[in-house]
Homo-oligomer: A and B are copies of this chain.
Amino acid sequence: MQLKMDAAALQAFLAQDFGQVAADFAVERADAAGVVLRMRVAERHLRPGGTVSGPSIFALADVAMYLAILSRIGPVALTVTTNCAIDFLRKPAAGQDLRGEARVLKLGRSLAVGDVLVFSDGMADPVARASLTYSIPPSARAGS
């Protein structure tokens, strides 16, 4: 499989199109197996007590999966999340970064589906898992 965007291209895409949140994320790997995305956990991602908030974990899963899809179809505008099912499994370690490992399970003409495991640095077991569906606009897939 030939990727249309590698880790550097995905990082550049984030910086250009998601200026607000791009600094939170670092693309660690992008290959045939999927994308590994690091979230630099900061004060604004925390809930009282120091744990990472649910919306922040959701954001990591969503961005990781989105980039895994773009790595295969290229920087297609208007690809949007239509569905997510997420399980919160364990409390992340305090003050540690999170890592989302996304894999694509289906890349159809109009729908893409994949899942993500979220890990907290220093913990062996995942802190969350998510499955997500994206709608891909018709024109975008014409040449693929």
- Which of A's residues lie within 8 Å of B, judged by CB? 17-20, 44, 46-48, 53-56, 58-59, 62, 80-90, 105-106, 110-111, 113, 115, 117, 125-126, 129, 131, 133, 135
Contacts and interface: CB of A to CB of B under 8 A. Distances in A.
A113 B87 contact: yes
17 contacts: A17-B48, A20-B44, A54-B58, A54-B59, A55-B55, A55-B62, A80-B88, A83-B87, A83-B88, A84-B84, A84-B85, A87-B105, A87-B113, A87-B131, A87-B133, A89-B113, A111-B135
A123 to B, nearest CB: 12
A137 B106 CA distance: 17
Contacts of A81: 54, 88
A91 to B, nearest CB: 8
Contacts of A54: 58-59, 62, 81, 84
A17 B53 CA distance: 13
Contacts of A53: 59
Contacts of A17: 48
A84 B85 CA distance: 6
A117 to B, nearest CB: 8
